[in-house]
Amino acid sequence: MGKILNRYKKIVGSEKIKEIEKRAKPLKGKYILHINATYYGGGVAEILDNLVVLMNDVGINACWSIIKGSEPFFEITKTFHNGTQGYPIKLTKEVKATYEELCRRNSVYINFCGADAVIAHDPQVLPLIKYARPDRKKEPWVWRIHTDITQPDPDLWNYLKTFIKNYNEMVVSDEKYLKDDIGLKQTIIMPSIDPLSKKNRDLSDKQARKILKDAGIDLKKPMICQISRYDRWKDQVGVVEAFKRIKKEVDCQLVLLGNYATDDPEGAAYYKKTKAKAKGLKDIKVIADKGASPLLVNALQKMSEVVIQKSLREGFGLTVSEALWKRTPVVAGNVGGIPSQIKHGENGFLVNSVKQCAEKTIELLKDDKLRKKMGKNGREYVRENFLITRHLLDYLELLNRIIK
Amino acid sequence: MGKILNRYKKIVGSEKIKEIEKRAKPLKGKYILHINATYYGGGVAEILDNLVVLMNDVGINACWSIIKGSEPFFEITKTFHNGTQGYPIKLTKEVKATYEELCRRNSVYINFCGADAVIAHDPQVLPLIKYARPDRKKEPWVWRIHTDITQPDPDLWNYLKTFIKNYNEMVVSDEKYLKDDIGLKQTIIMPSIDPLSKKNRDLSDKQARKILKDAGIDLKKPMICQISRYDRWKDQVGVVEAFKRIKKEVDCQLVLLGNYATDDPEGAAYYKKTKAKAKGLKDIKVIADKGASPLLVNALQKMSEVVIQKSLREGFGLTVSEALWKRTPVVAGNVGGIPSQIKHGENGFLVNSVKQCAEKTIELLKDDKLRKKMGKNGREYVRENFLITRHLLDYLELLNRIIK
């Protein structure tokens, strides 16, 4: 027990490790079943991958099942995902039928047997509780929603509530996502990054330079970057506009790195739009990398003078913590979970426009001392708040409370 | 219990349904866990999808879990898949480590709790048994291999045997795949088709014509077709060569329909090769359809005068049963599971060369009575041997034997 956990000792200190071990003890041998929509792609799968292993490492029998989807189902749940974040959606009888029928079918595929608690992630798997086998032992079910649900589409939210009410608890990612129209205990568990993963582990300058060089990126000029999926809510076009302003004051380079799902025509179109916006400008790289190498992301975040995350909407925006962890100050949109990660003026800046984004980036580029200080603050802020060990501890507290 | 099963009554008769219900009774409430590598694509996932639902329908708690793979892992298991069918492979220490480590990791994700029997499908999940949680209740494990293992790569086979020996039983798809070098009870369970699925359900001529017309296929000339993944073992190039000979005797058309995995460069190259071979020839359609519509497959198999399956190697080749079920005689390669489906001269012909393939297709095209007779025989042969109800019954017998 704790072989993997111990690797985090040098990062978070032995007190934290001891606390985790203490909280894990009463849960030894308990079966916890995580269920979500996919093993691959997306922040939720990335987090579960390591979290489930760590849970097992501390003695819990944490399992992870995914549902078998279908194209029409995933099209619907994509609109639901957007709908929870306020995008208007059309909720027809057919949509509901497809959504519920798929969950009904999956309720037989998934082995709920023996579970001491079930944690269902996001809207895709929400209706499962309605169909779970009648012979289950009334274990508590938790709905864990990862999106920004401050202003969901009202029809969608009313519909989802018909399933949510069957759960024992709901977990959200930020204080502002707590709902007052749900008669359910709610807990905040912020997401996290894994400091030992390829994307976040410490690289030497030499290693990072080599990775960038192999990707065709030199460091002759100071670098700023944004790493995120091509999507209008990530506002890469706004970043290019800000860069034009920045470039007038500081001679630097911009790298945009991200992917778009092959089945996402909007993403492909937005990538093209970004490319067009950058056309003819010097020192910009607009890269679409399907399986974006985690080591390249790591090196970019580490070697950039400033990391930008100019989102207009954001579920949580963990790329901010990723960059801060590498001691790089971040200039980011004041939306979603970003203000929980950036203390304005301490480890980065929250901005509301292209103009502000450019100004604050220029300020940082011109001030070595400020960058260094903010970078240091960022590292410590993430160490305290956004590492997988804190995430694990939050889950242990939740599980200790709900499992009798 | 049996609501879905009852839909098969009009197809297989009430005796068969009663037999299934009788065999299912002692298994009521038992937890059976199927594990394979993917929910999507491939014959195994297609079969499990309906079979698991049917098992639940007759009162068994059949569950279905998949493993979380990785690119290097799936590259390795693809070579293993080919290796079990005789393709030479290079088995390094690193290959073994990647293969086993991924299964070790998945052994914690999968919820084995409560299982009364585990059925692990194909080499991808074979090592799981080595790492299954120590608190399991010693339920029987069955390894179900779907490939042609008459002549596996010797090194690979020796390696796989180190895992196979931990199982209680092994299930193969054909008598000729039984192994004499394994100290394990072996059972033959042939695969099956679902007569109620979109791909196999009865279409009217009118419906079928409309589907074909919408796909740009007219029936002005007699049609022959082959439906399979673009792959050299499916020998589409040989089909085009046969068609050239056929065309000299009978004015007809050929449709080749299939897909290739987007991450399979060999498949893409073979598709191009087939296109090149067909270039300049009249009345040939070479179609690569990623998500080949099951209704189009259905209509093609139904409305063709002859279906060809000129495979050079074949795990089982269920497209043969699919075509026979639609009362279309099949001319197919004498390999893998095909001779178990085709009774030479009764419901189709087994052929060993382009020449034979052409001759037998010509014979059928010229003889309406023979086609009709063979088509009728094919329908009955599949009804008796290759429907999902027979498949379910075989599993029930296996489970009744191994679950105490």
Residues A189-243 have pLDDT tens digits of 999 999 999 999 999 999 999 999 999 999 999 999 999 999 999 999 999 999 9
Closest Cα in chain A, distance from residue B249 (Å) = 44
Please give the structure tokens belonging to residue B369: 């009575």
Mutate to test the interface with A, among B102, B113, B139 (most CBs of A within 10 A): B113
Q: Which CATH number fits domain A205-385: 3.90.1300.10, 3.40.50.2000, 3.40.50.1820, 3.40.50.720?
A: 3.40.50.2000
Q: What is the pLDDT of residue A132?
A: 84
Instruction: Calculate helix-pair angle for A71-84, A93-109, nearest 10 degrees.
Output: 110
Query: How much is the ipTM here?
Result: 0.89
Closest Cα in chain B, distance from residue A110 (Å) = 6
Please give the structure tokens belonging to residue A52: 């489930």
Assess A115–B contact: CB distance below 8 Å, yes or no.
Answer: yes
Closest Cα in chain B, distance from residue A144 (Å) = 18
Q: What is the pLDDT of residue B339?
A: 97
Residues A54-91 have pLDDT tens digits of 999 999 999 999 999 988 999 999 999 999 989 999 99
Query: Beta-strand (E) ranges in A139-249?
Result: 141-144, 169-172, 185-188, 223-227
Reported confidence tier of residue A293, pLDDT bands at 50, 70, 90 = confident
Count A/B contacts: CB-CB distance under 8 Å. 78
Query: Beta-strand (E) ranges in A247-391?
Result: 253-258, 284-288, 306-309, 330-333, 348-351
Rounded to whole angstroms, how far apart are CA atoms B80 and B83?
Answer: 5
| Same-fold call for B5-192+387-402 versus B205-385 | yes
404 residues of chain B, pLDDT tens digit each? 579 999 999 999 999 999 999 999 999 999 999 999 999 877 899 999 999 999 999 999 999 999 999 889 999 999 999 999 899 999 999 999 999 999 999 999 999 989 999 999 999 999 999 998 766 678 999 999 999 999 999 999 999 999 999 999 999 999 999 999 999 999 999 999 999 999 999 999 999 999 999 999 999 999 999 999 998 999 999 999 999 999 999 999 999 999 877 667 788 899 999 999 999 999 999 999 876 689 999 999 999 999 999 999 888 999 999 999 999 999 999 999 999 999 999 999 999 999 999 999 999 999 999 999 999 999 999 999 999 999 999 999 999 999 98
Overall pTM surpassing 0.90 (yes/no): yes
Name the residue among A157, A178, A167, A88 with its Cα closest to residue A127: A167
Rounded to whole angstroms, how far apart are CA atoms B404 and B397?
Answer: 13
Q: What are the C-alpha distances in Å from B22 to residues B2, B188, B300, B400? A: 11, 21, 38, 11
CATH class belonging to A5-192+387-402: alpha beta
Q: What is the pLDDT of residue B132?
A: 83
Q: What are the C-alpha distances in Å from A209 to residues A212, A216, A218, A364? A: 5, 10, 8, 22
Q: One-letter amino acid identity for A244? A: K
Q: What is the pLDDT of residue A262?
A: 66
Rg of chain A taking only CA atoms, in angstroms: 22
Reported confidence tier of residue A292, pLDDT bands at 50, 70, 90 = low
Assess A113–B contact: CB distance below 8 Å, yes or no.
Answer: yes
Mean pLDDT computed over every residue of chain A: 94
Nearest by CB to residue A63, choosing from B29, B31, B110, is B110
User: What are the backbone angles phi and psi of residue A47, rounded to the nearest 5°?
Assistant: -70, -45
Contacts of A315 (CB under 8 A, 6+ apart): A43, A85, A146, A147, A148, A173, A336, A337
The pairing of strands A117-121 and A31-36 is parallel
- The residue extents of the domains of chain B are 5-192+387-402, 205-385
Q: Whose structure tokens read 């990707």? A: A215
Inter-chain CB proximity B31 and A115 less than 8 Å: no
Rounded to whole angstroms, how far apart are CA atoms A104 and A102?
Answer: 5
pLDDT score of A1 more than 80 = no
